[in-house]
């Protein structure tokens, strides 16, 4: 059942990615309304579990954009982005930017937390295996190298409908898999990337594109129109040979920040 759900989600998101990347009208979308709307303000989180290895050189830029829309911003970095945080901490935020790396195992992507294992620490690995035995059996948690990772099923089982809210922007490989879990929990909209290798977190290009998109959202564009406007501005002057990541959105396309 879980594998069928994952396949359905990925297929749906692939269609949305194709639609988003091809829907490029000749002129920009209608100018947005610039105002502090009902979604403006609240608490935002920049969550970067692997900050030590794949640092965000632009934390201040993320913070500045969000503060301009009235959000207070928490940076959840490294160990603070633990398995337990992902179990119960996400419901505290009205807007979430997730910077995640992942590994693929038995049909699912697992997203690395800031909780890490010593590669050769057999006793520590055994302790974690015992502590999270139920979650491992349910395909919610898995390990690879130093990474303690969670799957879409972990989020799905951790957050009841209505416990999440607002906008989630997920950056990194495999992140479209998380869409159904966040929307089921109550998030209004979910934006993510079909991320090729050249857009991995370590190169910084993904952060640049995410900041670009976030600035457009901060101008008052809806989620739907912001994605289209991103492609218009990003490709302007670069010709038909330029390549850009495929950005997907699901949920309430009229949501604004």
**Tens of pLDDT along 217-252?**
999 999 999 999 998 888 776 666 666 677 889 999
CA atoms within 13 Å, Cβ hemisphere of 62: 24
As its CATH architecture, domain 2-16+42-100+160-249 has: 3-Layer(aba) Sandwich (3.40)
pLDDT digit string, tens, across residues 72-125? 999 999 999 999 999 999 999 999 999 998 888 988 999 999 998 876 667 777
How much is the average pLDDT of 202-214?
Answer: 83
Residue listed under structure tokens 């850009």: 244
**End-to-end CA gap in the chain:** 35
Query: What is the pTM assigned to this prediction?
Result: 0.82
Domain boundaries, the chain: 2-16+42-100+160-249
């Amino acid at each position: 059942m879980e594998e069928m759900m994952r396949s359905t989600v990925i297929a749906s998101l692939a269609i949305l990615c194709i639609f988003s990347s091809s829907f490029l009208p000749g002129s920009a979308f209608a100018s947005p309304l610039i105002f502090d709307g009902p979604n403006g303000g609240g608490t935002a989180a920049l969550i970067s579990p692997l900050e030590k290895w794949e640092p965000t050189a632009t934390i201040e830029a993320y913070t500045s954009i969000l503060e301009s829309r009235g959000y207070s911003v928490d940076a959840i970095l490294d160990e603070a982005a633990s398995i337990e945080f992902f179990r119960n901490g996400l419901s505290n935020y009205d807007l979430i930017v997730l910077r995640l790396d992942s590994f693929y195992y038995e049909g699912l992507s697992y997203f690395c937390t800031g909780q890490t294992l010593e590669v050769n620490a057999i006793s520590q690995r055994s302790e974690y295996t015992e502590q999270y035995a139920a979650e491992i059996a349910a395909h919610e948690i898995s390990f690879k190298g130093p990474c303690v990772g969670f799957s879409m099923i972990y989020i799905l089982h951790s957050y009841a409908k209505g416990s999440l809210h607002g906008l989630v922007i997920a950056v990194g490989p495999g992140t479209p898999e998380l869409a159904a879990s966040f929307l089921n929990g109550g998030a209004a909209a979910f934006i993510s990337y079909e991320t090729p290798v050249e857009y991995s977190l370590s190169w910084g290009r993904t952060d640049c594109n995410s900041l670009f998109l976030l600035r457009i959202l901060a101008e008052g564009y809806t989620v739907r129109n912001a994605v289209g406007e991103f492609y218009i501005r990003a490709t302007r002057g670069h010709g038909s040979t330029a390549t850009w990541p495929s950005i997907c959105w699901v949920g309430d396309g009229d949501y604004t920040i």
